[in-house]
Structure 1
């Protein structure tokens, strides 16, 4: 457990100091318990030895004072270190998330990510402030007692020791099983948390379809899976805990039998036997604590691993000597025989595409053909498996992340807005923008129409994710943000999908303005009515571009695009080339 933590929080010296401090606390507690033996011997053997009893009582009080002082000192140090662990892990996670490729977030649910950062770091801190201290002390105390008893009577020392190896064997053998069940339980809890968030976010859809009272099957399955995981965990955890407790109690019985046998045989004074049996009763307590810590230790290991999944995730490699796009062609996009597979499933195969700087291009094709992946590879969500993606003639892998992100603005289909004002959501793209620049961008995207009808205007808070705005209004914010950023390349992922006519017109106007400003605009088109004015249309099918050209030329070619257009629009078959020229 500590080795796992030190892998993520490399401050071994501090942990060693804490471990030594807790070991001292455990030894002092063991010495305190051992001091009961001569005290009881003096009281039970001869009532006249009260002076000796008072001397040992003074020793016990002194040891008790040292024990309390040492425990207070290391406890404060432990809490201080735990706060550092939690702060450092959370800050490290935040810093590391900024370095991870955007594709990493595609495969990681927000619920799991939030659980890792919000819960795993405190759990890791708890290993330093609570779990590890109790474990070290619970081992050091019995060890000190066994050594002291062996010095008093080696036979009783063996009796004290006999149960320890068996108890440790049970814990060692059951450890992997308990850890697996803890991991299953953690995964089930994360799934249930994610589905609960999804259920809350889906309320508008569920209510509009009359399904709000009919239950939510994914959440019900996740909760049932969580209950099954907890039941299985309790079953598998209970057996080793019972076995461990039984062995510890059998060890106490062995001490009891050994003490009686030696006392009856005259080999051990009755006073010593009683004192050692009292000591044995206290000796069992720290061993029992280890059993109680067992599940907590395994849960902490799972939580630390969960944090490790973030901190040890590999960012995309940064170039040792970053290049800059060539002047004059810094916004040209080129895919050169690109191969890409997502989780071993081929998505793009030998895809070739070229978009000149300042041109607009629409990606059209059936669902699942790889259009979104094309946009994401330009923004380097992932690295390609073969071929190259170039921006301004330079492979995106040879651009620094900062350079790439400066040159690319992305408008996703599902625009996310921060729970802040409309103005602040725009300023994310350009914090130093003047009010005039802000309002110019808003007017170009027709966002000013939205702002004018809101009671708080630019100061209107948009809610978490932008929920207080409609989908079309959120897209207007996204388009305005792209205009304000003034990046030479703009990527729009189905920006007009599912919009009403008014919002579609507003977003389309923003797209045309981006193109008119000389931006290289690459659009995934859901509504074919938005692609007819594009400089190029690339028809994507089965992970490759099968046709590329202007709208009219592709219709006259009567290829895959023409067939797709006719099926989507219900138009008659494409006209012959001669007829097309006179249209």
Structure 2
């Protein structure tokens, strides 16, 4: 477990952990030495010359003082390291998450990540702060005591040495039982965490259909499974604790009986018997304490394994010699990509000319959003290449690529802050006037006018204080503020009312004059204004051209255009 913790913390933060272990080992050795000095101290104190015990008392006091000083030093370091564990693990997990491809974030892994970043990290803080000291003490102190016992009374020392493997076997069996139950428990806890998040996010839908928590079967089943896993863990933990506790006490009883037998037979004097019994108690006490912490240690090991799995996950590789594109022309060259065993793009090739607007249309599931995300390198292509200014996106540094591409998604997430905070996410150093200008160009003027605090209005967690259309406009304002030379709008105007849509269309037209613009949209006005239209079907570009080229044809786009035109012509007539 120590090695796993050092791996999770990384080389820079592992040094304080090693220093803490050295201090704890020294403190435990000092404690064992103090216990060992009790033998000559008691022998002389109960012997014919009690005054001879004074030098041993001085040595005992010195060892005890050393133990106290080392323990105080180690515990201060332990508490500080416990705080560092939370900070370092959160930082490392956050940095790792940024580099992971989006394909890694399955619902199960998202639930696991949520548990690891919250519950598991908090539990791992206890490892240096509270768990390491009894573990090290249970290892080092008994070794010192047993070594002294072998010298003072070899027969009793041999009994302890013979029993030690039995104790180790019992502890191994107990930990193994806990490990299997804990692994199963982690799996169901991840599922329960994912279901709870799903249940919270789907409240509007569930309430619209009158579904309550008791009627949400998936959540109920996940929580029930978690309860069963908790009970199974208890059933595994308790027998192991009882068995190890019984073995420790059996060892103490054996030493006691053997010592009394030797004393009654005249082979062991009373003073030595008392000293040996004190040593035997000191030998078993830290072992019993460690046994009680065995389940906590096993759970900590499981949490560490989960953290290290995330930290070991493969990230998108950074280029060894990054290149910087000179232009913003985008080229997809025979791109192939799929999810698991399901191919999505089957040799897609097209060009987005610099400072132009391209509309990408096609049926649902055709891979339009996949195209957009490959452009920003959310995944790496499986064959072919995506190039910006003639440079493969895999050869562009991640930060540079992120600065060049701006996204507006259909599903918008706002952070718990003000409107200005969320818009400024596009460019943190933007001035208030620049934020206000971007908000106006995104059609937020009417929203700001209706809010007493204007841009300083809190949006709530996830933007719950705003409507869906308002959140969408905030997302568009972010992209406008970022001023990236390549902009991707993925159904960005789907939730807008006609007035806001008109304002955004004006902003989109302005973007096309200064940026390379890829628009995934069904709005007729947006598609019609594009410099070129690409039709994606069956994993390939089946049609390309302007609206005038494609609208009068017999292909998929013409059918799409007629359906949209007819739908927009519908009107509700009152009776």
With structure 2 as the length reference, what TM-score do the two structures score? 0.88
Equivalent residue, structure 2, for 1:200: 200
Give the whole-Å Cα distance in 1 for the aligned partners of 2:69 and 2:247.
33
Deviation at 1:530, TM superposition (A): 4.4
* 60 and 431 in structure 1: CA distance in 2 versus 1, 3 angstrom threshold: closer
Give the whole-Å Cα distance in 1 for the aligned partners of 2:505 and 2:477.
12
Contact 2:174 2:241 in 1 (8 A): no
Matches within 5 A, 1:185-334: 185-212=185-212, 215-326=215-326, 330-334=327-331
Contact 1:476 1:506 in 2 (8 A): no
Equivalent residue, structure 2, for 1:64: 64
Contact 1:479 1:510 in 2 (8 A): no
**Residues 1:337 and 2:334 aligned together:** yes
Contact 1:554 1:562 in 2 (8 A): yes
Deviation at 1:437, TM superposition (A): 3.7
Equivalent residue, structure 1, for 2:170: 170
Give the whole-Å Cα distance in 1 for the aligned partners of 2:562 and 2:474.
33
Give the whole-Å Cα distance in 1 for the aligned partners of 2:328 and 2:317.
22
Give the whole-Å Cα distance in 2 for the aligned partners of 1:542 and 1:177.
51
* 372 and 97 in structure 1: CA distance in 2 versus 1, 3 angstrom threshold: same
Give the whole-Å Cα distance in 2 for the aligned partners of 1:434 and 1:27.
61
* 438 and 70 in structure 1: CA distance in 2 versus 1, 3 angstrom threshold: closer
> Could you say what secondary structure the match of 2:28 adopts?
helix
Contact 2:334 2:385 in 1 (8 A): yes
**Residues 1:548 and 2:540 aligned together:** no
Give the whole-Å Cα distance in 2 for the aligned partners of 1:250 and 1:498.
73
Give the whole-Å Cα distance in 2 for the aligned partners of 1:169 and 1:214.
46
Equivalent residue, structure 2, for 1:142: 142
Equivalent residue, structure 2, for 1:31: 33
Equivalent residue, structure 1, for 2:394: 397
**Residues 1:370 and 2:372 aligned together:** no
Equivalent residue, structure 2, for 1:417: 414
Equivalent residue, structure 2, for 1:359: 356
* 37 and 99 in structure 1: CA distance in 2 versus 1, 3 angstrom threshold: same
Stretch moving more, 213-222 or 54-63: 54-63
Number of matched pairs: 565
Give the whole-Å Cα distance in 2 for the aligned partners of 1:548 and 1:113.
42
Contact 2:108 2:194 in 1 (8 A): no
* 421 and 80 in structure 1: CA distance in 2 versus 1, 3 angstrom threshold: closer
Equivalent residue, structure 1, for 2:380: 383
Deviation at 1:286, TM superposition (A): 0.8
Deviation at 1:219, TM superposition (A): 2.3
> Could you say what secondary structure the match of 1:389 adopts?
strand
Deviation at 1:190, TM superposition (A): 3.6
Q: Alpha carbon RMSD of aligned pairs, Å?
A: 2.9
**Residues 1:520 and 2:520 aligned together:** no
> Could you say what secondary structure the match of 1:162 adopts?
helix
Stretch moving more, 167-176 or 151-160: 167-176
Give the whole-Å Cα distance in 2 for the aligned partners of 1:439 and 1:282.
72
Deviations 1:246-273 (A, max 9, x none): 3222222321332233233332224433
Equivalent residue, structure 1, for 2:132: 132
Contact 1:473 1:503 in 2 (8 A): no
Deviation at 1:218, TM superposition (A): 3.0
Give the whole-Å Cα distance in 1 for the aligned partners of 2:278 and 2:403.
74
441, 444, 455: which is aligned to 1:444?
441
Give the whole-Å Cα distance in 1 for the aligned partners of 2:71 and 2:104.
44
* 16 and 443 in structure 1: CA distance in 2 versus 1, 3 angstrom threshold: closer
* 296 and 520 in structure 1: CA distance in 2 versus 1, 3 angstrom threshold: same
Contact 1:363 1:538 in 2 (8 A): yes
**Residues 1:19 and 2:32 aligned together:** no
Stretch moving more, 65-74 or 91-100: 91-100
Equivalent residue, structure 2, for 1:472: 469
Give the whole-Å Cα distance in 2 for the aligned partners of 1:124 and 1:501.
52
Give the whole-Å Cα distance in 2 for the aligned partners of 1:163 and 1:34.
20
* 111 and 166 in structure 1: CA distance in 2 versus 1, 3 angstrom threshold: same
Contact 2:185 2:229 in 1 (8 A): yes
Contact 2:448 2:455 in 1 (8 A): yes
- List gaps (5 residues or longer) in structure 1: 572-583
**Residues 1:113 and 2:110 aligned together:** no
* 113 and 562 in structure 1: CA distance in 2 versus 1, 3 angstrom threshold: same
Give the whole-Å Cα distance in 1 for the aligned partners of 2:139 and 2:547.
77
Deviations 1:259-299 (A, max 9, x none): 23323333222443344234323321111122122222222
Deviations 1:285-328 (A, max 9, x none): 111122122222222222223332443334322223332324xx
- List gaps (5 residues or longer) in structure 2: 568-575
Equivalent residue, structure 2, for 1:577: none
**Residues 1:533 and 2:529 aligned together:** yes
Equivalent residue, structure 2, for 1:581: none
> Could you say what secondary structure the match of 1:557 adopts?
coil
Stretch moving more, 316-325 or 7-16: 7-16
Deviations 1:51-82 (A, max 9, x none): 35666555544433332222112222333333
Deviations 1:462-493 (A, max 9, x none): 12222111110111111122222222221112
* 429 and 65 in structure 1: CA distance in 2 versus 1, 3 angstrom threshold: same
With structure 1 as the length reference, what TM-score do the two structures score? 0.87
Contact 2:107 2:194 in 1 (8 A): no
* 424 and 151 in structure 1: CA distance in 2 versus 1, 3 angstrom threshold: same
Contact 1:475 1:507 in 2 (8 A): no
425, 447, 460: which is aligned to 2:457?
460
Give the whole-Å Cα distance in 2 for the aligned partners of 1:383 and 1:264.
80
Equivalent residue, structure 2, for 1:488: 485
